[in-house]
A and B are shown apart, each in its own frame.
Chain A
Amino acid sequence: MSIHIPTSLDDAVALLHELPRVQLLAGGTDFMVEVNFNRHDVHDVVALRRVTELQQWQHDETSNTVTIGAGVPYAEMENGELARLFPALAEAARTVGSPQIRAAGTLGGNLGTCSPAGDGLPVLFALDAVVNLASHRGKRSLPIGEFMLGPKRSALAVDELVVSVSMKTTTGWQGYAKVGTRNAMVISVASASLVLDSESGTARIALGSVGPTIIRCTQAEQWLQTQYDISARKELDEAIATEFGLRVSQESRPIDDHRSTAQYRRHAVGVLAKRLLQRGCVQ
């Protein structure tokens, strides 16, 4: 077993090329759990904390695009400028584990693990984020919907790493809500993120923990646009919110497992969708 501590993205990418069975380590909040459960035969580890390119985020105001490095911890998204730009991301970040976990855990880790319960992922999907990847072969970018393929399966090649995610800032309301059976520090049983883009008059909603991967409810989104003028944001008829919730829950594909039942998840995610929409239309 070897540990490598590259200090540049080029070095990190080169290591990924050289070491065939390498494990990437950022916050370690997923990886170390796997190690402790003996689920990984750990060979070579590339620790990414000192790769400065991954630790930063930028706001390009001309293109209204924010790019968040894969190594930026959730703690940095909870408050401050990032939270102002993406309130839904801040809300999701605040639900990630404990303060200690949020100081270590990263969006890159969420993407790399690609669990349907990853707290940040519904927000990224609802924001139409683009995932920026790098390998010795070069760089590429994928819409997040094409990046996430299934439960803990992504389009990430074995010699590739997540460099950052890019999102356009939006005008309008955005939010996130997550059901767990404890009031803090809990893994998601069902979650949802809603973005009401008042400029384009579109709504985007993505669901966590209710399918093999994060689910975008495109049919419910389109239905909502026919029922409600998102740009005008006038008072929302409760019947529309209820119907929206139902339609969202119909697009979920949950399973029974030890954390909950499919029936509850389907119900809960519909309630979340309804409430998020009502929250978004109250202001």
Chain B
Amino acid sequence: MSPSIVRTRRDTLGTSALRPDGGAKVQGSFAFSSDVWADNMLWGATLRSPHPYARIISIDTSEAIKIAGVETVLTAEDVPGQLTYGLIESDQPVFAAGVVRYMGEPVAAVAADHPETCRRALAAIRVEYEVLEPHVNPEDSISGSVPPIHPNGNLLRHQRIVCGDTTVTGPVVVECEYEIGMQDQAFLGLEAALAIPDADGGGVEMIVATQWLHEDRKQIALCLGLPEEKIRLTLGGVGGAFGAREDISLQVHASLLALRTGRPIKMQYSREESFFGHVHRHPAKIWVRHHARNDGMILKIEARMVFDGGAYASTSAAVLINAVTHIQGPYRCANAVVDGFAARTNNPPCGAMRGFGVVQACFAHESQMDKLAQACGLSPVEIRLRNAMRTGDRLITGQPVESVAPVERCIRETDAIALPPQMTSSPHELLLPGGSGRTADRQHITRGIGWGVSIKNLMYSETFDDYATARCRLENGIVTLKFATSEVGQGFITLAPQIARSVLGIDTVIVDPMDTTIGSAGSTSASRQTWMSGGAVDGACRLVRERLFEHVARQQNLDPLQLEIDDTDIIDTRGTLRISVSQASAGMTFEETFEHHHRPTEDLDENGQGNCHVAFAFVAHRAVVDVDTELGLVKVVQIATAQDVGRALNPLSVLGQIEGGIAQGLGLAVMEEILMVNGIVKNPSFTDYLLPTALDAPDVVAVLIEEPDPQAPLGAKGVGEPPCISVTPAIAAAIRDATGRAITRVPVRPSDICL
């Protein structure tokens, strides 16, 4: 059932072209940003707060600077420009000044000749803290019962949605409170950058792993007090992102150290530091009540959603909006009252992670759908089919879903996927729950099946014009593409040449380094680059094709509108001309730049009404799990999925996103959680923050639903986020099915199943 991978003569759109960097990555020769070196470089390192909340009484760097090999020590006093940064709200200090608000907050940075010298220098910095009682309960931010821990207050955002007739009730009412733990993006390529100061000290060049070069540049420039053009960023090799590289981490620190020392600075985080160096997925508590008719049709949704944003704003406000506007799920609903809160606490800051607020909402609405199914005596499939949203339906925000909405098809095609075979009488020991620990035998295992279906917005929302820029140059039969689109592993580096080959009929396509010498591409997030940067590359290539056709038409005395690309040739649709593109463009240079903008969106009003999102994608997941009910251990056997992709521009790449997203959603379902006690992170390592291994990964059977979206430049919807959203509730539901337990929290812990 999974998409067949067909190799073709030309790697055009629709083919499974292979990643140009795939071989290097498999062989270990790919240069990640942590592999970059410069002559005469120094190492940078960050001193972080051990306390979730404390007043800084004094910082004494005098002993550190005396250490041989230490070149400089910086604190908040050394920040020349804006003292804070942030994606939406500039509220996060470059270095803590006077107060630390979360465990791991940067307090100082050093530059030295060796990482070990850096370590000693950090140890020699004396910071005197007055430790304060941390504020870690988001409810206290909402009620205002604790004093503000930040000048901007403890409530990051409140958004209400009031839709339709709020007095409606139904004969069937189901309600529950759900909890979602704090997940980490846990990319494998740790934060790393090399900052090289200009000879005159007036600017910085930086090679960095990031999701959005231009946004980084903007924030770095503000903090350095330099014009943006003095900061030049080039994308280093990125080893995964998943949202954790949207906020800046070490960029300003490395730049400051480079400018101060006049020498290149290399900074890279360890795995432990990485857990403190980037934002996480918001832990959330979501109470939902559904009113429905006896036949299962949803009448009204009431919800209260509380997201713990941690110490700083990051993207909490936008995450919250996604959460409240997606709580209905991919189901029709005319009436709703929803309250969402993003709260500031002394927990680690939370922000973007794959699924961006929808993951939390989806766990709640899908758990509710199963409750509703049970209350109405319907199957999980039937309840979802009855309520499935269709193209043109309105969301509880009043926004019509103009994206193609094949929800019913997603469910039906997932349902049609064959279930895995029943467990044999003597299954391979590694395939049982417990795996290599050999905890179970066949008779201890119960199988369960569960469902999850989701809706996910694509691109940025609420009036944000997150455009993308691309340039195409055709010269002597070779196409060169230029854009600042961060390649974080998602595959735009594969897709962009495919677009050029299809549009221009040229096979040799060079992708220039991604840097800030061209306009912004926007962030590699929100499932947006295929749509946005894809639209920009397509637009630039089409403009070049127009120039090329004009040139050929002039030479041949033809109407350029008669010309078309056929494979690698230009043909005259009304005549006999056939000339290869490379021949036709010999000696010529055509260069065009194109900006793709999505349609404008609106802010939500005080009742949460407004067309705030650009477009939507849908997906269904069915999970089959084996559970050792006595020990509470789980093995996810199979995930069946049908995903609304619009158009599969590279089926292999789409499948990669699906399998990866499912692994990440499985992680949230059964093992991945940052554990905190009173603001202290207890498990900042891969020993204790568990990611799924190959043995935990299920068989994935995927169907791609291709109904091209007319709004999308290439008909293709983003495919990055949907795979990881509804798989989590599907697995939780399967565990419920196997155990009869309520399972109102993810990750599901063994004790939730067996105690």
Write the residues of chain A forming the contact surface with B, with a CB cutoff of 8 angstroms.
33, 36-38, 91, 94-95, 175-187, 189, 191, 258-261, 263-264, 267-268, 271-272, 275, 279
Contacts and interface: CB of A to CB of B under 8 A. Distances in A.
Nearest to B667: A182
Q: Interface range on chain B: under 10, 10 to 19, 20 to 34, or 35 or more?
A: 35 or more
Given A263-B751, A264-B750, A275-B444, A184 B439 contact: no
Contacts of B696: 182-184
A247 to B, nearest CB: 17
30 contacts: A36-B272, A38-B123, A91-B438, A177-B437, A179-B439, A179-B633, A181-B633, A181-B690, A182-B435, A183-B430, A183-B434, A183-B633, A183-B695, A184-B693, A184-B696, A185-B436, A185-B693, A258-B675, A258-B677, A258-B683, A260-B751, A264-B750, A264-B751, A264-B754, A264-B755, A271-B630, A272-B439, A272-B631, A275-B439, A275-B444
B354 interface: no
B185 to A, nearest CB: 18
Contact of A182 (B430, B632, B692): B692
Contacts of B695: 183-184
Contact of B749 (A175, A181, A183, A187): A181
Contacts of B755: 263-264, 267
A184 B687 contact: no
Q: Give the dominant DSSP class at A's interface.
A: mixed
Contacts of A176: 438
Nearest to A274: B630
Interface in B620-676: 630-633, 635, 670-671, 675
Q: Give the dominant DSSP class at B's interface.
A: loop
Nearest to A96: B436
Contact of B435 (A183, A189, A263): A183
B243 to A, nearest CB: 23
A115 B748 CA distance: 27
Nearest to A282: B441
A159 to B, nearest CB: 27
A182 B439 contact: no
B750 A181 contact: yes
A271 B631 contact: yes
Given A183-B435, A279-B441, A261 B751 contact: yes
Interface string B418-440: 00000000000010011111111
Given A36-B270, A184-B436, A184-B693, A179 B750 contact: yes
B688 interface: yes
Given A185-B693, A186-B690, A258-B675, A179 B437 contact: yes
A258 B270 CA distance: 21
Contacts of B635: 183
B687 A37 contact: no
Contacts of B677: 258
A33 B687 contact: yes
Interface in B659-715: 670-671, 675, 677, 682-683, 685, 687-688, 690, 692-696
Given A181-B671, A184-B430, A264-B754, 14 more contacts: A33-B685, A37-B685, A94-B436, A95-B436, A95-B438, A177-B434, A178-B439, A182-B435, A184-B436, A186-B437, A189-B750, A258-B683, A260-B751, A267-B754
A108 B677 CA distance: 34
A13 B444 CA distance: 50
B652 to A, nearest CB: 27
Given A181-B750, A267-B755, A37 B272 contact: yes
B514 to A, nearest CB: 31
Interface string B735-755: 000000000000001110011
A182 B671 contact: yes
Contacts of A38: 119, 123
B273 to A, nearest CB: 10
Q: For the complex of A and B, list the 10 residue pairs with the smallest distance between their C-beta atoms, beginning with the closest.
A: A183-B435, A258-B682, A178-B437, A184-B695, A264-B751, A183-B695, A184-B436, A182-B690, A184-B693, A177-B439
